[in-house]
């Protein structure tokens, strides 16, 4: 049976029980069970059918049963659960997905979780005992091999927990015991928590979800915070089906009564929101910063040409010419912007480390959830002969997530040993000083918790977006991850103070559609005011819903009539909405408050021009040109308006000034228009030809055709326009 048929059968069974056709659903289970060929599941079907037959008989006999509805719902729930189990069994035999290939591997070499834990403890003891020997008696390779044995045992536990389905109560209790076992290291517990989350994202299991909630309430520390993060991711995926769970409601009510838990849920939600900006930050690095750096390379080479290679590096770094280049190119501003994003928890390193996830280490799913450790066999092999201060600094800096730390180590492993040692040696002294500086800083427990969570979310983001088999998994980060939509969690977050904080965070992260929804909600909760309407207007403006933006800016204008920021936004949105006359009125009000503002004067000129009031527009463009000091930017509208006004001499005078400075292809085209209107056909053709040399004849022809109405209004013969364009097509290459 192919996967599409399996999924069709599953949906058919779910549809039948929703339509209260339970007998037919049970018949479908029996047909599906033939493919699964699993005796224990067939027994479950028999038990469910027997319970249902008893219920039907009691109902037909007229026996009153106050628990009938609960029993019926339990039967329906069991039918859905059995359908999931059957699908899992069939796919375990045929599917090429990593989940099922891992399940088949574990079934080939069956072992209980208890046995795996015993093997892990033995490997851990071997590492500890060997590490207690004097250094002179220890061999590096044996140390690494023993550590690898321990890591392999942990990875096997991860895969066992991940593929444990259905999760029966004894297995759930075993996992609960492991998470509370003080003799097991935190690193293994974190892998187990991650494995439980991955299990739940494959198949919903209320006992496993409750286990994660209980772990948050009992284990404490970083593990508790990560467990809660996993809980919320799972609850978001299954938000449509968990609302009726009485047990989950009870557990979540405990969290709602705990101020620490409420604060943690809010902190996690804000991290989820922040993760949605990762793609934008990555794009900013790749499309804005990197291209600018690439363009700067030749100039840097010119600056370095002839420089003494033995010159003091510190003096080179302080070269003011270099800083000037960075400032002029905009790189300094971009770097400062990215640094600010990083300080605020933004994920600025994804673009750098995404290319370093191709190492074989990252082919194993368990390795994406291994906390970074200086004792790791990966680190031990790379830093064999190094004091490792650099890695100590990287490990303790809080800047990189675990996945990126492993990427960094593996990238060093790719270098020849002498080169690798040289790189580590260069950083050794500086990193040691930075590590000492970090130790001297006062620790902030709340900031540390937030940073721990931030790096955990970044780790998860990398797995779901960079893992080689990522398409096989439900990508939680491809969704909006709006926890307000999640049953029980939404109740914790939905008071006005929380909604305001979330809305402001959405706004700060430039997620304007989400911010607008919450600001609108706050408006109906009597939280309205000028500040809220300003932000709501700005959200709609960025969403290009200019009518709604205008409506909100108008509300602010009623409250604060002469607020300059609001008036400027209102004018801009009215113009964008096509309300040119209303926009002009706004700009005139702004002009009364700022009579020498060149931007306002220019916008008034633009509005007047759009309204066909050319002479009035010219007056404002002259004002802008006078106040700005005769730049190309301010001369262009004067030249164009003079053309529209029929003053060709004045227009050509200004185009002449523009040509002497920094003309664009459009300047040559517009100058040609004027010359054509003035009867100077030969000069017009020369200007069109100059534009075509830069833009190509096709773009020039398209522009001329778009401007035909202006040429006809100036008295240019239509046939002449066509003839000139064909002349240019002969003379110029496309």
Residues 239 and 486 sit within 8 Å (Cβ to Cβ): yes
Tell me the H-state helices in 594-664. 598-610, 614-628, 632-644, 648-661
For residues 506 and 649, give the distance between their C-alpha atoms in angstroms, rounded to a whole number: 54
SS3 assignment, position 270: helix
Give pLDDT, residue 311. 43
Q: How does residue 434 score in pLDDT terms, banded at 50, 70 and 90?
A: very low
Is the predicted pLDDT of residue 1 greater than 60, yes or no?
no
For residues 624 and 198, give the distance between their C-alpha atoms in angstroms, rounded to a whole number: 62
Helix (H) / strand (E) containing 10: helix 3-18
Write out the two tokens for 649: 């001499």
Q: Report the percent of the chain where pLDDT is more than 90.
A: 62
Which of the two residues, 646 and 314, has the higher pLDDT score?
646
Is the predicted pLDDT of residue 327 greater than 60, yes or no?
no
Give pLDDT, residue 84. 86
| Cα–Cα distance list, 511 to 277, 326, 548, 695 (Å) | 8, 30, 17, 37
Q: How does residue 308 score in pLDDT terms, banded at 50, 70 and 90?
A: very low
Is the predicted pLDDT of residue 527 greater than 90, yes or no?
no
Q: How does residue 444 score in pLDDT terms, banded at 50, 70 and 90?
A: confident
Give pLDDT, residue 399. 79
Residues 604 and 588 sit within 8 Å (Cβ to Cβ): yes
Is the predicted pLDDT of residue 294 greater than 60, yes or no?
no
- Rg of the chain, C-alpha, whole Å: 35
Report cis status (omega within 30 of 0) of the bond before 397.
no
Is the predicted pLDDT of residue 114 greater than 50, yes or no?
yes
Instruction: Give the range among 37-46, 219-228, 721-730 with minimum mean pLDDT.
Output: 37-46
| Cα–Cα distance list, 335 to 291, 324, 327 (Å) | 13, 14, 10
Give pLDDT, residue 67. 87
For residues 203 and 83, give the distance between their C-alpha atoms in angstroms, rounded to a whole number: 12
Q: Report the percent of the chain where pLDDT is more than 70.
A: 85
Q: In this structure, is the dihedral angle defined by the CA atoms of residues 542, 546, 547 and 549, taken in order, positive or negative? A: positive
| Cα–Cα distance list, 62 to 70, 426, 651 (Å) | 18, 87, 98
Write the CB contacts of 342 (distance below 8 Å, at least 6 apart in sequence): 348, 399
Average confidence score pLDDT of the chain: 86
For residues 85 and 77, give the distance between their C-alpha atoms in angstroms, rounded to a whole number: 12
Residues 517 and 499 sit within 8 Å (Cβ to Cβ): no
Q: How does residue 32 score in pLDDT terms, banded at 50, 70 and 90?
A: confident
Give pLDDT, residue 428. 52
Mean pLDDT value of segment 719-726: 92
SS3 assignment, position 594: coil
Give pLDDT, residue 349. 78
For residues 420 and 409, give the distance between their C-alpha atoms in angstroms, rounded to a whole number: 10
| Cα–Cα distance list, 344 to 111, 226, 275, 340, 392 (Å) | 46, 20, 12, 6, 23
What is the Cα 76 distance to its own chain's centre? 38
Best CA proximity match to 399, nearest among 334, 341, 442, 461: 341
For residues 477 and 342, give the distance between their C-alpha atoms in angstroms, rounded to a whole number: 19
Report cis status (omega within 30 of 0) of the bond before 166.
yes
For residues 641 and 608, give the distance between their C-alpha atoms in angstroms, rounded to a whole number: 11
Give pLDDT, residue 631. 85
Q: How does residue 33 score in pLDDT terms, banded at 50, 70 and 90?
A: confident
Best CA proximity match to 198, nearest among 169, 155, 241, 240: 155
Best CA proximity match to 340, nearest among 277, 265, 432: 277
For residues 65 and 48, give the distance between their C-alpha atoms in angstroms, rounded to a whole number: 18
For residues 211 and 227, give the distance between their C-alpha atoms in angstroms, rounded to a whole number: 9
Half-sphere exposure of 467 (CA within 13 A, CB side): 22
For residues 620 and 615, give the distance between their C-alpha atoms in angstroms, rounded to a whole number: 9
Half-sphere exposure of 380 (CA within 13 A, CB side): 15
Which of the two residues, 410 and 432, has the higher pLDDT score?
410
Give pLDDT, residue 34. 83
Q: How does residue 411 score in pLDDT terms, banded at 50, 70 and 90?
A: confident
Is the predicted pLDDT of residue 5 greater than 60, yes or no?
yes
Write the CB contacts of 574 (distance below 8 Å, at least 6 apart in sequence): 546, 550, 580, 582, 583, 586
Best CA proximity match to 382, nearest among 416, 358, 432: 416
Best CA proximity match to 106, nearest among 58, 65, 165, 183: 165
Mean pLDDT value of segment 15-35: 88
Mean pLDDT value of segment 116-128: 96
Is the predicted pLDDT of residue 465 greater than 80, yes or no?
yes
Mean pLDDT value of segment 544-553: 96
Instruction: Give the range among 4-13, 157-166, 256-265 with minimum mean pLDDT.
Output: 4-13
Write the CB contacts of 210 (distance below 8 Å, at least 6 apart in sequence): 247, 248, 251
Half-sphere exposure of 686 (CA within 13 A, CB side): 5
For residues 352 and 362, give the distance between their C-alpha atoms in angstroms, rounded to a whole number: 16
Which of the two residues, 545 and 350, has the higher pLDDT score?
545
Mean pLDDT value of segment 409-437: 62
Mean pLDDT value of segment 275-282: 85
Mean pLDDT value of segment 129-141: 90
For residues 266 and 498, give the distance between their C-alpha atoms in angstroms, rounded to a whole number: 8
Q: How does residue 731 score in pLDDT terms, banded at 50, 70 and 90?
A: confident
Residues 375-401: tens digit of each pLDDT: 999 988 887 755 456 666 667 667 789
Instruction: Give the range among 223-237, 623-637, 701-715 with minimum mean pLDDT.
Output: 623-637
Question: Could you tell me the pTM of the whole model?
Answer: 0.82
Best CA proximity match to 231, nearest among 247, 214, 246, 212: 212
Residues 467-521: tens digit of each pLDDT: 999 999 999 999 999 999 999 999 999 889 999 999 999 999 999 999 999 999 9
């Amino acid at each position: 049976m192919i996967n599409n048929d399996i999924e069709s059968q599953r949906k058919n069974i779910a549809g039948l029980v929703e339509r209260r056709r339970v007998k037919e659903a049970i018949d479908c289970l029996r047909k599906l069970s033939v493919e699964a060929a699993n005796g224990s599941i067939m027994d479950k079907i028999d038990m469910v059918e027997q319970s249902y037959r008893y219920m039907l008989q009691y109902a037909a006999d007229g026996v009153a049963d106050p628990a009938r509805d609960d029993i019926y719902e339990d039967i329906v729930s069991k039918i859905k659960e059995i359908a999931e189990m059957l699908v899992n069994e069939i796919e375990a035999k045929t599917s090429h997905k990593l989940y099922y290939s891992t399940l088949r591997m574990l079934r080939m070499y069956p072992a209980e979780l208890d046995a795996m834990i015993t093997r892990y403890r033995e490997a851990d003891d071997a590492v500890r005992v060997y590490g207690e020997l004097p250094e002179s008696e220890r061999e590096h390779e044996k140390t690494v091999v023993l550590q690898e044995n321990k890591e392999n045992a942990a990875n096997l536990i991860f895969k066992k927990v991940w593929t444990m389905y259905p999760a029966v109560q004894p297995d759930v209790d075993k996992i609960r015991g492991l998470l509370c076992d003080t003799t097991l290291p935190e690193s293994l517990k974190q892998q187990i928590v991650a494995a439980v989350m991955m299990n739940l994202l494959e198949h919903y299991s209320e006992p496993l979800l409750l286990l994660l909630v209980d772990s948050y309430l009992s284990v404490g520390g970083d593990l508790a915070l990560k467990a809660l993060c996993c809980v919320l991711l799972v609850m978001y995926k299954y938000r449509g089906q968990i609302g009726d769970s009485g047990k989950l409601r009870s557990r979540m009510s405990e969290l709602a009564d705990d101020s620490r838990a409420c604060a943690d849920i809010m902190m996690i939600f804000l991290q989820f929101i922040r993760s949605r900006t990762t793609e934008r930050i990555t794009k900013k690095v790749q499309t804005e910063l990197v291209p600018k750096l690439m363009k700067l390379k030749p100039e840097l080479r010119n600056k370095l040409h002839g420089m003494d290679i033995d010159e003091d590096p510190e003096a080179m770094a302080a070269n003011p010419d270099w800083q000037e280049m960075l400032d002029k190119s905009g790189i300094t501003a971009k770097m400062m912007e990215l640094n600010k994003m990083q300080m605020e928890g933004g994920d600025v390193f994804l673009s750098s480390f995404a290319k370093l996830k191709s190492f074989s280490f990252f082919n194993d799913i368990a390795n994406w959830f291994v906390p970074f450790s200086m004792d790791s066999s990966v680190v031990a092999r790379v830093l064999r002969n190094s004091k490792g201060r650099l890695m100590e600094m990287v490990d303790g800096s809080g800047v990189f997530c675990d996945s990126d730390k492993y990427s960094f180590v593996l990238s060093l492993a790719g270098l020849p040993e002498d080169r690798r040692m040289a790189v580590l040696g260069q950083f050794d002294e500086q990193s040691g000083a930075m590590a000492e500086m970090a130790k001297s800083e006062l620790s902030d427990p709340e900031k540390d918790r937030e940073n721990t969570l931030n790096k955990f979310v970044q780790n998860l983001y990398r797995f779901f977006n960079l893992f080689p088999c990522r398409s096989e998994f439900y990508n939680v980060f491809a969704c909006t991850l709006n926890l307000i939509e999640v049953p029980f969690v939404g109740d914790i977050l939905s008071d006005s103070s929380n909604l305001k904080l979330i809305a402001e965070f959405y706004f700060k992260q430039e997620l304007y559609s989400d911010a607008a929804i919450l600001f609108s909600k706050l408006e109906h909760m009597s939280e309205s005011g000028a500040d809220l309407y300003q932000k709501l207007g700005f959200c709609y403006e960025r969403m290009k819903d200019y009518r709604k933006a205008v409506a909100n800016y108008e509300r602010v204008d009623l409250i604060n009539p002469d607020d300059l920021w609001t008036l400027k936004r209102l004018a801009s949105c009215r113009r964008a909405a096509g309300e040119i006359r209303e926009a002009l009125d706004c700009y005139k009000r702004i002009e009364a408050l700022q009579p020498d503002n060149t931007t306002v004067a220019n916008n008034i000129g633009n509005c007047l021009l759009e309204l066909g009031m050319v002479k009035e527009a010219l007056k404002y463009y002259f004002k802008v040109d006078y106040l700005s000091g005769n730049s190309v930017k301010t001369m262009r509208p004067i030249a164009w308006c003079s053309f529209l006004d029929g003053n060709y001499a004045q227009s050509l005078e200004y185009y002449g000034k523009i040509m002497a400075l920094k003309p664009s292809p459009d300047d040559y085209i517009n100058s040609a228009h004027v010359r054509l209107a003035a009867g100077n056909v030969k000069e017009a053709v020369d200007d069109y030809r100059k534009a075509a040399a830069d833009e190509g004849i096709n773009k020039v022809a398209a522009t001329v055709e778009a401007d035909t109405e202006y040429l006809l209004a100036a008295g240019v013969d239509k046939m002449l326009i066509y003839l000139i364009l064909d002349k240019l097509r002969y003379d110029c290459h496309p």
